[in-house]
Amino acid sequence: MGAPRQWRKRRRYVFRDMRRDIWYNNGNPGGGDSCMGDRSGGQDMLRREYDRINAKWLNAHFRAGAGLAAFICLMEAVVYFALRWMGGMTASRSLYIGKYMLAPSGLNLLAVVAALWVKRSRLPLRAKIYTVSMALVFICCVTYTVHNIFPSLCMAFGVTIVLTTAYGDRVLTTMTAAGCILCKTLSDLLFHWDPEASSKLGTAEQNMDFTLSLVILAAVYVGCMVMISIEQEKNRISIQRELEKQHFQVEALTDSLTGVGNRQAFQQMMDTLAGEGPEPEYSMAILDLDNFKEVNDTQGHMQGDRYLRELGNVLQKTRLGAAYRFGGDEFCILFRSRTKSQLCEACQDIQHSFSEATLSRELEQVTISFGVAVHQPGVGPAELLRRADTALYQAKKARGSICFYRA
């Protein structure tokens, strides 16, 4: 029926983009405020990817409805000329053109235009999907009612139901199936476009054909619902496993004490930046706590870890760059496309936030020194790191200062 292939493609695109984007939300694994890749971020990514694929399928769904309306209009013209050529036309030319060509084509065109207007509007994607689906039901209803001498046209209702399964929306499929069954029932019982034609009900064969057609449409609906349930369960299991895999991957790249990226994560990020083209613009800052060795010696390593955790919390909350811990009290922040003034302001904000955090925890004041290297064309990651380290060496001479590398 086509829906399983659509879902398989959906899972493939989702997982590919999750692997690609894990480092590109503000540079942090998982993005946002933390270097930890939380599940909510992955789920949001999945939701966006699902919406993108649903929007793509919506375009195909709309084209199917518009194509059906155009095909029906063409076939009505072919039948008209065939009847004239064979001399089988019983109605007048103007009556036939108005009743069997212009009227149904106009109604179908109205449905297509309404669906197109909604599809191009700012309405939610879900509203657009429902509108296009109902427009296709309306087109099938008009076609079946006008040409009710062809019972096989009721198969169009079944195709309309099947097309909705690609969205994986039980409510949509249920509404579409209910609309199809209702339209067919009303068309057979109440609407007689051609009064001269015999009623579709009355004889045992006609009643059986009417009942059987409704049973078939109901069976198509049940089959679609079963298929949706099976595919959704497959998706749920696959997505859950992929999210767990991504979670473990991010944990392996996260420093357990501070919550920022570890040295391996930093190396992966640098490799990623080195592989981008054209050459990306990024700047780098190395920072450490002044006299941290004395803190460990006089207050103990447990107290030193408290300082590191507070600094990690501060670095996680900043949205200006991605933070990584090299080891001990040495950290690195990777900034994207930051001017010198922006870099200085970002470093000052970190110093201020860390000072407030230590005061609130009743810890002795410890200052932070920064060495900053601003991106320059042709300077690779290794050289930029060396420059930032050189600037840090100068900054340590005046504790709590921010020093920029000068060639």
Stated pTM of the model: 0.57
Domain co-membership, 280 together with 368: yes
Residue 145 sits in the same domain as residue 172: yes
Angle at 250 between CA 374 and CA 243, to 5 degrees: 135
Same domain, 226 and 308: no
367: in domain: yes
**Is 359 domain-assigned?**
yes
Structure tokens at 330: 């040495």
Measure the CA dihedral 170/172/176/181, to 10°.
Answer: 40
Distances (CA, A) of 191 to 141, 268, 369: 11, 68, 83
Interacting residues of 44 by C-beta distance below 8 A, sequence separation 6+: none
Same domain, 188 and 297: no
Query: Of 6-20, 118-132, 328-342, which gets the smallest average pLDDT?
Result: 6-20
Closest CA to 130 of 88, 163, 81: 163
Q: What is the pLDDT of residue 170?
A: 92
- In a domain, residue 258? The reply is no
253 located within any domain: no
The CA distances from residue 333 to 125, 258, 308, in Å, are 39, 14, 15
248-268 residues labelled b (16+ CB within 10 A) or e (exposed): eebeebbbeebbbbbeebbeb
8: number of Cβ within 10 Å: 14
Please give the structure tokens belonging to residue 351: 């110093």
**Domain span at residue 46?**
3-245
Residues 231 and 293 in one domain: no
pLDDT of the residue at 35: 36
Q: Are residues 179 and 285 in the same domain?
A: no
Residue at 254 is within a domain = no
Whether residue 267 is found in the same domain as residue 397: yes
Give the range among 7-21, 110-124, 163-177, 316-330 with minimum mean pLDDT.
7-21
Residue 374 lies in a domain: yes
What is the arithmetic mean of pLDDT over 61-72?
Answer: 89
Structure tokens at 360: 């609130």
The two structure tokens encoding residue 141: 């209803």
Query: For helices 125-146 and 39-86, what crossing angle results, to 10°?
Result: 20
Q: Residue 224: what pLDDT?
A: 93
32/41 Cα distance (integer angstroms) = 9
Whether residues 231 and 267 share a domain: the answer is no
Question: Both 27 and 148 in a single domain?
Answer: yes
Residue pLDDT, tens place only, 311-355: 999 998 877 788 999 888 899 998 876 788 888 988 999 999 999
Q: What letter represents residue 34's amino acid?
A: S
CATH no. for residue 274?
3.30.70.270
- Give the total number of structural domains in the chain: 2
In a domain, 353, yes or no: yes
Residue 122 vs residues 48, 55, 119, 129, 166: alpha-carbon distances, Å: 17, 13, 8, 13, 22
Q: Which of 211, 245, 279 is the last residue of a domain?
A: 245
In this prediction, residues 46-58 reach a mean pLDDT of 84
Instruction: Tell whether the model's pLDDT for residue 245 goes beyond 80.
Output: no
Q: Which residues pair with 282 in a beta bridge?
A: 336
**Do residue 289 and residue 190 come from a single domain?**
no
The tokens describing 107, both together, are 């109604």
| pLDDT single digits (tens) 276-319 | 655 567 889 999 999 888 888 888 889 889 999 999 999 988 77
φ, ψ (nearest 5 deg) of residue 289: -85, 135
370 has which bridge partners? 287, 402
Q: What is the pLDDT of residue 199?
A: 55
Please give the structure tokens belonging to residue 234. 């497959």
Assigned domain for 239 exists: yes
Low-confidence winner among 208-212, 245-249, 386-390 (lowest mean pLDDT): 245-249
Q: How far apart are CA 208 and CA 156, in angstroms?
A: 20
If one compares 93 and 267, the residue with the highest pLDDT of the two is: 267
Based on the fold, state whether residues 295 and 155 are members of the same structural domain. no
Which of residues 194, 213, 245 is at a domain's end? 245
Q: From 185, 215, 245, give the residue that closes a domain.
A: 245
CA atoms of 82 and 90, how far apart (whole Å): 13
Same structural domain, 153 and 23: yes
